[in-house]
Amino acid sequence: MLKHLLFLPALLLSAAVLPAADFKDIPTEPLPGDAMLSQYFEIETRRLANRSLGTVKDAASWNIQKANLRRQLFEMLGLQPLPARTDLKAKITGTTEREGIIVENIVFQSRPGLYVTANYYRPKEQDGPLPTILYVCGHGKVNIDGVSYGNKVSYQHHGTWFAKNGYTCLTIDTLQMGEIEGIHHGTYKHNRWWWNSRGYSSAGVEAWNCIRSLDYLETREEADKEKFGATGRSGGGAYTFWISALDERIKVAAPVAGITSMQNHVVDGCIEGHCDCMFMVNTYRWDFPLVSALIAPRPQLILNTDNDRIFPLNGVVDVYTKSRAIYKMLGVETNLGLAIYEGPHKDTQPLRVPAFHWFERHLKGLPLDHEMENTAAPKIFEPAELKVLKEIPGNERNTVIDDYFTRRVPRTLKVPETLTDWNAEHALTLSRLRGKSFRGWPANPGDLELSLDADQTENKLTLSAYSFDSQAAVRLPLYVVHNAKVDPEDLDLIVLNVLDDEGWTSFMKSIGSAFPEAFPGEDLPELDEDRFDEERNMFLGQKWGMAYLPPRGVGPTVWTSDERERIHIRRRFALLGQTLDGMRVWDIRRGISALRNIEGLTEPQLWIQAGDNMAGNALYASLFEKDIHRLDLHQLPASHREGPTYLNVLRYTDLPQIAAMAAQTSQIRIYTDKAKDWKYTSDVVKKFEWPEKQLQVREIPKKKEE
């Protein structure tokens, strides 16, 4: 008898459920920097959590929505359209027998060149097909003398237990830490933000490998095809959720320490302890109870320890509670259970015992009070006995799977044949951007609440400091500079400079520090007098106004200078179905609206100027705003592979096409050291005989690195 185990079938919930995350009233006052960001994440997480499962009113509505939700999950895992089920080319490379168990070392290709190494545990003696478990591993590195033996070696004791107790069990390696070592940590460690733009997550590879594992098991006469179960812990717990939600061939699921709430990940910071394999690309802005709910009405037992720092108990219970509402609605409450054991995030044997019970009940039909004689699961095999490959195949794609797993727009874009075709493509691309890349933009942004915060005249120039609400909890500054003797309504044009970190520093040194009243409390840098004189002469010689917009996270709203913290902040945005760059596009749109709402600035021509990734953000903002006369884009990346990052964008477009779309209504100036990268854009302008001034690509020498 386990003294500290809490096992909760759904019928016992009212007596033992733990409280879900406590959402306090969130203040609406704008805050700078990290405080503003924290408030923003709380509001967005609450909004997302409240809408998940919010439209499900009864069993009928759930059954109508379920198919579409499953399609969305396939898509968010990079599996829409579903890859071809190519020949698995399965091979048994070795067999070991011990203590009445046979273990086969197996390799198959879930896609050509995508190898899955596995161990298949089965009893030496069996009479007919047996219930079969797909065991999916978490991170359990076994590397000896520089050779990877796979996660499956760490988790061998689970397969052993199942084989000794009347099951067969296929234990599969993960992409990372498998015998062929691929990458899970694309954004976490390797700066591969283009994963977001490709709509790729290593979670999708794991889900697909699980699907193909079931295809393989269906070829084995030892396995009962009507009695497949799935289990695993940590990463394996997450993959248990993926495969069970996606594939109804899984009849019983027991995920261990594999899920928690969005509140835990985004607000409490648990995402920092997780690699990318734990998350889908959250295009449709789900909270995690939706994944669990998709397993209903099939039996599901959620297991966790009570002191798991990366799967906190309140979030686990939140997932369970919200999933239970679906099970109750379907009249199968007893098919959902919760098992909690004491301890940290660790593969403890006592935590596995409830899972064994669960499979005994739901795959073998044994009663709830069934007493298991043997719950011990020792590791009895040497790593070398479970090694599948003698050498890594020359055609392996495991190490580069991220570059071809999801479909992408062709690297060489083709100019449409007719203007009608172009306009149709233009409209389709905008629709996709709204629905697949910028779905996280506010549906109801609210009033700008534009205010004039400071107005200072120095050295014949006037700087006016404004602030406005980009959205709830995001209040941004906007600075306007012009000749003090020229009224705003008499300006010939106004140039909106969208600033990144480097641009903000340059602005402060060349202009901002001359106007201390506009920056109360700021530690101002020393003014560069020569540059200030140059800027002032420009203003005095032209009837131009200059506006300066630092989007969220830049300048006054900077949240951290620590690069590691910045990485996890970007990952939080992505988990909410947004990206930092995507929300900066929104900030630019709202900045344009704020600028046009300033008295006297409704009529002058509007130009936008930005550099590097912020130039890409400005380019996209222009697609959704009217009357942008001109864009000056400095060192605009030629592909989203380099940036900026928006969810899924590379699945259907890239920056040369977007520049052509913008050139249809705005004059574009691209300043680049690689003019050839913009040939497609130029070809579109020439094809449809747009005025030459609509696009100019100006080649400039690349800056020498100091």
For residue range 335-392, what is the model confidence (pLDDT) as tens digits? 999 999 999 999 988 888 999 999 999 999 999 988 888 888 889 999 999 999 999 9
With b for 16 or more beta-carbon neighbours within 10 A and e for fewer, the 112-144 pattern comes to eebbbbbbbbbbeeeeeebbbbbbbbbebebee
Asked if 208 and 246 count as a contact pair (C-beta separation under 8 A), the reply is no
For residue range 214-251, what is the model confidence (pLDDT) as tens digits? 999 999 999 999 999 999 999 999 999 999 999 999 99
User: What local confidence, expressed as pLDDT, does residue 33 receive?
Assistant: 86
Give the residue with greater pLDDT, 5 vs 525: 525
- Res. 298 pLDDT band, cuts 50 70 90: very high
For residue range 476-486, what is the model confidence (pLDDT) as tens digits? 999 999 999 99
Cα 68 to Cα 61: distance, rounded to the nearest angstrom: 12
Asked if 571 and 578 count as a contact pair (C-beta separation under 8 A), the reply is no
User: What average pLDDT score do residues 594-613 get?
Assistant: 96
Cα 585 to Cα 233: distance, rounded to the nearest angstrom: 39
Domain ranges (residues) in the chain: 6-403, 451-699
CB neighbour list of residue 481: distance below 8 Å, 6 or more residues apart:
461, 462, 463, 464, 511, 539, 545, 546, 547, 548
User: What average pLDDT score do residues 60-65 get?
Assistant: 91
Cα 579 to Cα 195: distance, rounded to the nearest angstrom: 12
The pTM assigned to this predicted structure is: 0.94
Give the residue with greater pLDDT, 474 vs 5: 474
Cα 4 to Cα 217: distance, rounded to the nearest angstrom: 36
For residue range 131-180, what is the model confidence (pLDDT) as tens digits? 999 999 999 999 999 999 999 999 999 999 999 999 999 999 999 999 99
- Res. 31 pLDDT band, cuts 50 70 90: low
* DSSP codes joined into one string, 109-137: EEETTEEEEEEEEEESS-SS-EEEEEEE-
Tokens of 83: 């890859």
Q: Per DSSP, what are the bridge partners of residue 105? A: 94, 119
User: What local confidence, expressed as pLDDT, does residue 19 receive?
Assistant: 34
- Neighbour tally for 279: CB within 10 Å: 21
For 451-699, give the CATH class.
Answer: alpha beta
H or E stretch covering 223: strand 223-233
3-class secondary structure, 549? strand
Kindly state the DSSP code that residue 544 receives in the 8-state scheme: E
Whether 288 has a pLDDT exceeding 50, the answer reads: yes
Helices (H), 438-500: none
Burial of 55 (0-12, 13-18, 19+ CB in 10 A): exposed
With b for 16 or more beta-carbon neighbours within 10 A and e for fewer, the 296-331 pattern comes to bebbbbbbbbeebebbbbbbbbbbbbbbbbbbebbe
Whether 9 has a pLDDT exceeding 80, the answer reads: no
User: What local confidence, expressed as pLDDT, does residue 15 receive?
Assistant: 28
Task: Give me the half-sphere count of Cα atoms (radius 13 Å) on the Cβ side of residue 699.
Answer: 7
Asked if 117 and 173 count as a contact pair (C-beta separation under 8 A), the reply is yes
For 6-403, give the CATH class.
Answer: alpha beta
Whether 566 has a pLDDT exceeding 90, the answer reads: yes
Asked if 454 and 11 count as a contact pair (C-beta separation under 8 A), the reply is no
Whether 426 has a pLDDT exceeding 50, the answer reads: yes
Whether 182 has a pLDDT exceeding 50, the answer reads: yes
User: What local confidence, expressed as pLDDT, does residue 170 receive?
Assistant: 98
User: What average pLDDT score do residues 599-625 get?
Assistant: 97
Identify the residue whose tokens are 């995690």: 288
Query: Do 6-403 and 451-699 share a fold?
Result: yes
Whether 440 has a pLDDT exceeding 90, the answer reads: yes
Whether 299 has a pLDDT exceeding 80, the answer reads: yes
For residue range 456-506, what is the model confidence (pLDDT) as tens digits? 999 999 999 999 999 999 999 999 999 999 999 999 999 999 999 999 999
Strands 605-611, 544-549: pairing is unpaired
Cα 483 to Cα 492: distance, rounded to the nearest angstrom: 12
Q: Per DSSP, what are the bridge partners of residue 698? A: 671
Whether 1 has a pLDDT exceeding 50, the answer reads: no
Whether 285 has a pLDDT exceeding 90, the answer reads: yes
CA distances to 99, 164, 348, 349, 357 from 378, rounded to whole Å, are 11, 11, 12, 10, 18
Whether 510 has a pLDDT exceeding 70, the answer reads: yes
- Res. 25 pLDDT band, cuts 50 70 90: very low
Cα 472 to Cα 28: distance, rounded to the nearest angstrom: 7
Asked if 152 and 160 count as a contact pair (C-beta separation under 8 A), the reply is no
Asked if 108 and 212 count as a contact pair (C-beta separation under 8 A), the reply is yes
Mean of all residue pLDDT scores within the chain: 93
Whether 421 has a pLDDT exceeding 70, the answer reads: yes
User: What local confidence, expressed as pLDDT, does residue 8 receive?
Assistant: 40
- Res. 704 pLDDT band, cuts 50 70 90: low
User: What local confidence, expressed as pLDDT, does residue 106 receive?
Assistant: 98
What is the chain's Cα-based Rg? 29
H or E stretch covering 95: strand 91-98
Asked if 492 and 605 count as a contact pair (C-beta separation under 8 A), the reply is yes
- Picking from 22-31, 287-296, 609-618, which range would have the lowest pLDDT averaged per residue? 22-31
Cα 518 to Cα 511: distance, rounded to the nearest angstrom: 11
